Amino acid sequence: MTPVTIIGLGSMGTALAEAFVAAGHPTTVWNRTAAKAAALVAKGASHATAIQDAVAASPLVIACLTDYDATRQTLEPAAATLAGRALVTLNSGSPAGAREMAAWAAGHGARFLDGAIKNVPSAVGAPGTLLYYGGDKTVFDEHLTTLKVMGGDTVHLGTEPDLAALYEMAVGGTLLPALVGFFQGAALVQARGLEVSSMVRFTAKWLEMIISLLPVLAEEIDSGDYSKLGSSVNVFVAGIPYDEELGQEANLDVTWHAPLHDLLRRAVEAGYGEHSISALTEVLRKQGG
């Protein structure tokens, strides 16, 4: 069992440390607010009060702090101890932040992997929990069994250290629009005196349908061929008045639709009206410049 050090005992770091303790790994923990280590020590973890001791305790050091700046600040006093060790960062952040972190780690002789946990703390350790990584493949291969303690669906995306942060942004972009759509639906059914729970099964089916479309849409975007028509841009444009009616029907603020409608209209102007809805990607690309 590889000894593991967990730096950062927020909700996610605590769940990670618990998983390693439960799996029988000698687990050392460190947190800025030291009191958060007590419950883990009661379960069998060792608490290092100095960051240098925390890093020195294990060949595999996993940092789960708020962001890369906090991680660098925290590890700076232990930088000399990192040489030759595997350092894994598991915080949210930008690809540029991941590249800076990788350069800092390499400058101190650490073998570096940056990863992302695509789930909530309660799902840590489950076979289906997804974590993906970018960076040193030898670290990934050497520690794969140990990394899988955090989640069974553990993937190496490539040797570029910013890949996990890139995919984190690319995949995570669906979260807020999807949830806002759900919240809007919730407000609509409540305005009719219905329980939000009455729509969950139907929304879940709807999301399953969307999931089933993703490979087809991805192929259209990858090939740049939007001509094989499933749902056209025009079909979505035809739905714009219904979106607007929704606001009146239930006295809802539907202003968040405006930029989406604008995107659809610009797609029509660009000649994509009778093309697949995936052609919106081209409009986004142009907008991004």
For ligand FVH, which residue has the nearest CB? 10
From the list 12, 39, 26, the residue with the least C-alpha distance to 151 is 12
* Nearest CB to ligand FVH, comparing residues 14 and 146: 14
Task: Choose between 91 and 276: whose C-beta lies nearer to ligand FVH.
Answer: 91
Stretch 86-115 residues interacting with ligand FVH (CB under 6 A): 91-92
* Helix, strand or coil, per DSSP, at residue 62: strand
Binding-residue total with ligand FVH (CB under 6 A): 22
The reply on whether position 63 binds ligand FVH by CB under 6 A is: no
63 near 113, Cβ under 8 Å? no
DSSP sequence for 87-134: EEE-----HHHHHHHHHHHHHTT-EEEEEEE-S-GGGTT-TT-EEEEE
What φ, ψ does residue 85 adopt, rounded to 5°?
-90, 160
- Site mask for ligand FVH (CB under 6 A), range 18-57, x = bound: -------------xxx--x---------------------
Dist CA 48 CA 64 (whole Å): 16
Per CB under 6 A, contacts with ligand FVH among 234-263 are none
**For ligand FVH, the closer CB: 9 or 233:** 9
- Joined together, the tokens standing for residue 253 give 């603020």
Sheet holding 111-117, edge to edge: 46-47, 27-30, 4-7, 60-63, 86-89, 111-117, 130-135, 153-158
Among 4, 12, 233, 267, binds ligand FVH (CB under 6 A): 12
Report the residue from 23, 56, 70, 270 that binds ligand FVH according to the rule CB under 6 A.
70
**Identity of the residue, 9 or 57, whose beta carbon is nearer to ligand FVH in the bound complex:** 9
For 282, phi and psi rounded to 5 degrees?
Answer: -65, -35
Contact at 8 Å (CB) between 113 and 159?
A: no
Piece of 5-13, 38-46, 54-62, 139-147 that binds ligand FVH (CB under 6 A)? 5-13
Query: Toward ligand FVH, which CB reaches closer, 2 or 92?
Result: 92
Whole-number minimum distance, CB 99 to ligand FVH, in Å?
17
- Indicate which single residue of 5, 46, 58, 74 sits in contact with ligand FVH (rule: CB under 6 A): 74
Residue 14 or 232 having the CB closest to ligand FVH: 14
| Total Cβ atoms within 10 A of residue 62 | 26
CA angle 189, 193, 199 (to 5 degrees): 35
Tell me: does residue 121 bind ligand FVH (CB under 6 A): yes
Q: Which residues pair with 115 in a beta bridge?
A: 133
Stretch that binds ligand FVH, among 17-25, 59-67, 191-199, 259-267 (CB under 6 A): 59-67
159 binds ligand FVH, rule: CB under 6 A:
no
DSSP bridge pairs for 63:
7, 89
- Contact set with ligand FVH (CB under 6 A): 8-13, 31-33, 36, 64-67, 70, 73-74, 91-92, 117, 120-121
